[in-house]
Amino acid sequence: MATTDTYTLTDFIADLDRITREESAAHRITARTAPLLARLVRDPSSIAARYLASPPGRRGRYMLHRAPTFNVTSVVWRPGDRATAHNHETWGVIGVIDNEIEETRYRVSPAGNGRASLEITSVTRHRSGAVSCLVPGDEIHAMHNPTARDTVEIHVYGRDLAGLARRRWDEDGTEKPLVSDKYLNC
Ligand SMILES: [Fe+2]
């Protein structure tokens, strides 16, 4: 933990290195990471501005740090951008730096024939400074930027999502494979 008022990305990475050495349970890792990420997103001045902006014509998605036990990325949702219900296959902690995001959580039950029944368990508007945790058993969500300007977030995951075989669901419950692209900076 940094001893000064300034809490930088370097401080955060050092804390995550320690937490992911000391803990193996996802709920413990996310519980300890959440207040630190809340602190980081309050003052993201240590993160290069180019990683906090959307490139022309697409959502921003940048790798800020890769470690064996976690990774830190930035994500920039443009006005109207959305991700339908999807899973993550790992723990996650998401913090909002700027603007706001609407997160819908789901309970998903197999319904046969490549379909599932999706029950909405919560809909939350996360505003600047808010943090949301994904843990096994509650890690399926949809995201939407309903506002007229970019929303900037920091995501921390226990695994690299690029190339990871995940699942997503249409609103009618049709299940589809999901594989995320490479990051824009690597
Ligand atoms: Fe997600």
The pLDDT assigned to 39 comes to 97
Query: Distance (Å, rounded) from C-alpha 39 to C-alpha 131?
Result: 10
116 band by pLDDT with thresholds 50, 70 and 90: very high
Look up the pTM and report it. 0.94
Query: Distance (Å, rounded) from C-alpha 140 to C-alpha 89?
Result: 9
CA 83 to ligand 1 center in whole angstroms: 8
pLDDT in tens, 38-84: 999 999 999 999 999 999 999 999 999 999 999 999 999 999 999 99
Output the DSSP codes for 63-130: EEEE-SS-EEEEEEEPTT-EEEEE--SS-EEEEEEESEEEEEEEEEEEEETTEEEEEEEEEEEEETT-
CATH superfamily of 9-178: Jelly Rolls (2.60.120.10)
CA 67 to ligand 1 center in whole angstroms: 20
> What percent of the chain has pLDDT above 70?
98
CA 3 to ligand 1 center in whole angstroms: 32
CA 133 to ligand 1 center in whole angstroms: 10
- What are the φ and ψ backbone dihedral angles of 138, each rounded to 5 degrees? -150, 70
Cβ distance 156 to 75 under 8 Å? Answer: no
CA 60 to ligand 1 center in whole angstroms: 14
CA 33 to ligand 1 center in whole angstroms: 17
